[in-house]
Amino acid sequence: MARTVTGIDIGQTSNRFLRGSFKGNTFHATDFAFVAHRRHNLAEAWAASSLAFKPKDARIGVTGRDLNMRYTRVPRVPDWQLRKLMRFEVAEIGEQSGSGLASDFNLLPPLPEIEGEDVALLAMARESLLEEHMRGLEALGGSLDAFAPNALALYNVWRRFGAIQEETVLLANIGHENLDVVLVRGADLLFARNLTGGSKLFDDALADRFGVSADKAEELKRAWVTLQVGARYKDANQEKASRACQNAAGALASLLQSTVAFCRSQVKVSNLRIDRVLLSGGGALLAGLPEYLSASLHAPVELFDPFQVVDTSQLAADQADLLAQHAQESVIVLGLATMASDPGAYSVELVPGRVKRRREFLGGTLLAIAAGLLAIGFLGWKSWQVSQRAKRLRSQAIAVESELRSASTTDRATRQFAEENARLSKAALELQSWAGSGEQVARVVEHLGQSLPADLWIDNLQSSIRIADPLGLSKGNEQPVLRLSGRAREGTESVAAVLEGFVGGLRAAFPHARLVHSSSPAGDRFQVEMSQFAPRLAAPESAGEPGQVVDSDSASGALPAKGN
């Protein structure tokens, strides 16, 4: 059964919650919540949330200054050795930062540009940040699955819901204060990064230009600003606002370009070139932004909408409407839910130290204690059971030894009888064969004396116990075979008819025999082989041709009794 999880993305101006499960190739959403707010810190942002469902098994996204993602080229070593290398690096960074770090790593897909090495993506986040998230989650009655970088959530959305081709794509999720960027080649991850700088760049530019508050600046941005190249402005205020945001858009383009350059230096992919750019997040909805970035990045730029292939049929009507309104802002939360529910997702899982220790205790130490107690109980029961069985086996062994001695004596006698029986059987078969051979010769000679045509002479008569393939006698089934060789008297007319009559007389006289006969090309010489001990065939419908095996029975046996 698919695992139902909750993806959570807590932002500076809104919180997003998406609950569902990944089945087959489709994510099935069951609950969604979008909470807009203006809070100054993370605790207040969590407190602003009010949900109609429990956020159980939550995968919470992290980004911004408190998340560090590093790339390290490592030799291809066993997993235990790789974990050790990563622990050393985390310990070194933790000493420099002076704070506790939660960390995890994963290898990037193999890169053809790098031979003999792997690239490890190491993610680290401050324990204090994760603990603050934990308190907010617990206040909502939720439970933690893990934390994960928003950039990797964006990658999993692309991997599962994007139109993947053989091209290099830059994906950017523009939040209010943060920018999460991913570089992919086909379906493979090249680089993931989180940056400071989002749609707040535009708000700050407008607030400075017009001398208004941040809230008012956001209203002006939505109402006036367009970055469309060659746009015709409605009035001077729109032109002033739009031109004020062009510098911020340039800064955003520079951040994306720096990501490509940073990827080249970190991962050592020197020939990296962007074929396409996809934008998501609330900041991506600024009018004309895709066209502006396309001109700066020299690549097509468009909005990324993965919810077109998400099953939202199980959402309540109001939740479905809310998701439709905020689909662009909810791409990250979809990726977080996908990571937690899909066993095949590319994942880095950050867990606070206290949670990790509790899980290790429940999954390791406590399990080991329980296993030890069970083992002790099992061994005690098994010891008693074995002792009882040993008693039974000792008594059975005494009886078996007695039976064995008796059986051994019987076996030796049986073997002697079997050997003697085989010897006598062989001798009897030999005597039977020789006796049968003599009987066969006597009967054939008697028949020849009475029925041999005057025009045929017998030159040679041989009897032997041998193989005869034409008579069906193969190796191991040697039987007495009689061979008659003769010729026709010179001047005899119709030799073939005389020979056929002679062979027919043999068949009639020896109906159980199997025989084969042949003659010379001139027809003046002939040969007949026959055996009454050969396997017999079904009787033919008509007489056979010369050289053909002819028989009248289907089973071999002893010679029939002589008759008149």
Q: What angle do CA 248, 250, 256 make, to 5 degrees?
A: 110
What pLDDT is attached to residue 307?
94
* CATH 3.30.420.40 segments of the chain: 1-162+306-351, 164-303
Q: Which CATH architecture has domain 435-531?
A: 2-Layer Sandwich (3.30)
Residue 529, strand partner residues: 483, 516
What pLDDT is attached to residue 92?
81
What pLDDT is attached to residue 543?
42
HSE-up of residue 45 (Cα within 13 Å, Cβ side): 18
The verdict on pTM exceeding 0.85 is no
Cα–Cα distance between 179 and 41 in angstroms, integer? 18
What pLDDT is attached to residue 544?
44
Coil, helix or strand at residue 149: strand
HSE-up of residue 297 (Cα within 13 Å, Cβ side): 33
Domain 1-162+306-351, what fold? Nucleotidyltransferase; domain 5 (3.30.420)
Closest CA to 86 of 51, 120, 60: 120
Q: In which region does residue 61 sit, left (phi positive, over 0), alpha (psi from -120 to 50) or beta (all else)?
A: beta
What pLDDT is attached to residue 535?
85
What pLDDT is attached to residue 419?
87
In three state form, how does the secondary structure of 533-547 look? CCCCCCCCCCCCCCC
Name the class of domain 164-303: alpha beta
What pLDDT is attached to residue 558?
44
* CATH 3.30.1360.100 segments of the chain: 435-531
Q: Which residue type does 140 have?
A: L
What pLDDT is attached to residue 98?
60
Per-residue pLDDT of the chain (564 residues; tens, 9 = 90+): 468 999 999 998 999 999 999 888 889 999 999 999 887 788 999 999 989 999 999 999 999 888 999 988 888 889 889 999 998 888 888 767 666 889 999 999 888 888 888 999 999 999 999 999 999 999 999 999 999 999 999 999 999 999 999 999 999 999 999 999 999 999 999 999 999 889 999 999 999 999 999 889 999 999 999 998 888 899 999 999 999 999 999 999 999 999 999 888 887 777 889 999 999 999 999 999 999 999 999 999 999 999 999 999 999 999 999 999 999 999 999 999 999 999 889 999 999 888 877 777 666 565 667 777 888 888 888 888 888 888 888 888 888 888 888 888 888 889 888 988 888 887 877 787 777 788 888 989 989 888 888 888 898 998 888 888 888 888 888 889 999 999 988 877 788 888 889 899 988 999 988 889 898 887 789 999 999 888 877 655 444 444 444 443 333 444 444 443
